[in-house]
Chain A
């Protein structure tokens, strides 16, 4: 039997009918046609489906849509504003932190919560912080650099170089 739920996604309130077994990621992608949130492994391993639910990063392939009733959800579509890109998007862009881009939405949403809770993470804290997000292209180094750059940017500190390093 379908349930009625009320959720807010990126600031917009929705009242929706869902089957209890509908996964949150399917609600977002199929019912709301917001395809920025990706489905990678579908087994809560890869993190491509990461969104924020009441500010906490979560794997939307392992949550039921009904569990989001009454909650605020943030997806990658909500990062940029009229004024321009979110600092994390700018950081990923300038630091070449993506190749194919499949993991990027989840990686950025995870980084947003990480920096919210810990504005000055060490490299080790960043690497453990994105341990639930797999990237098969970059080797992670530029993702770590992008998060370090964003950390500096969000606190108006001196920005690290975005020149690529040749090792």
Chain B
């Protein structure tokens, strides 16, 4: 399948990219990993007149802990997350998620920024970012602004990133105490979207009381969803089996899955309940 004709530019600085976005108008699209955009163009679901390839712009791919934040550059590849010592030792939620995203070849190109900026509730990183209370750095010609993850997703394929802007970094506040994270999605086969997925972060104080919790849900709501009632139910508890069961029940009640080829509504609610329970236990066992 061949995409409709378009023009292509590969600027080497962000300034050039913004200039092009400004000149070309909203028919121009940013090309990062391209593993969502190019398939859509081949199917002619998308037909941008220009692609602005940002892969030659330095400074957009990094993983570092800085000023109390884990900072991940938007152009960081999924496979870089899997191979990063910082990620594999302290933020296993990202390796959990990356391993379940598409397949190794796709992960060699797909970027974390693209996974979020695509604005698809079926993608995995949105729920992970919700659980981790991420902030998204968006850059435009005037400068940078930061948007909290709860204000980032507007609708299907729509996010806070406006025309003329580029998502440049994701920043995650590093929890101060002991914390553990986990993600799992149920998928029919490798590379499929989630039937349901749950991302979990728990932060504990010295005697094991939960002081902060983040729970994000994949593909069971029109937008990536925060299981707010579940989080509240966990804070202040010792995270024993009853607390976990209650949080899992709330998540399954509060989500809004639709019946489709991946399962009916009841089945998906059941999945949310079971996966929430398992991921909470996994995150607690990883807390250090």
Q: Which residues from B are CB-within-8-Å of A129?
A: 104
Main secondary structure of the interface of B (DSSP, over half): mixed
A17 CB-CB contact with B under 8 Å: no
| Chain B residue with the shortest CB-CB distance to A117 | B83
Q: A132 to B34, Cβ gap below 8 A?
A: no
B235 CB-CB contact with A under 8 Å: no
Q: How many residues of chain A have a CB within 8 Å of chain B?
A: 31
Name which of B1-9, B193-201, B255-263, B272-280 contacts chain A.
B1-9
Distance in Å: Cβ of A126 to nearest Cβ of chain B: 11
Number of A-B contacts (CB under 8 A): 81
Q: Which residues from A are CB-within-8-Å of B55?
A: 67
Assembly CA distance A56 to B78 (angstroms):
12
Q: B8 to A20, Cβ gap below 8 A?
A: yes
Assembly CA distance A133 to B55 (angstroms):
26
Q: B1 to A66, Cβ gap below 8 A?
A: no
Distance in Å: Cβ of B39 to nearest Cβ of chain A: 6
Q: B7 to A132, Cβ gap below 8 A?
A: no
Assembly CA distance A42 to B42 (angstroms):
9
Interface size class of B (residues with CB under 8 A): 20 to 34
| Chain B residue with the shortest CB-CB distance to A62 | B38
Q: Which residues from B are CB-within-8-Å of A114?
A: 104
Q: A62-B38, A62-B39 are in contact. Are A20 and B106 (CB under 8 A)?
A: no
Distance in Å: Cβ of B76 to nearest Cβ of chain A: 14
Assembly CA distance A42 to B103 (angstroms):
15
A63 CB-CB contact with B under 8 Å: yes
Q: A47 to B103, Cβ gap below 8 A?
A: yes
Residue in contact with B190 in the complex, picked from A1, A21, A63, A132, CB distance below 8 Å: A132
Docked complex: A104-125 residues within 8 A CB-CB of B: 110, 113-114, 117
A23 CB-CB contact with B under 8 Å: yes
Q: A42 to B1, Cβ gap below 8 A?
A: yes
The 4 closest A-B pairs by CB, nearest first: A132-B103, A20-B8, A131-B190, A56-B108
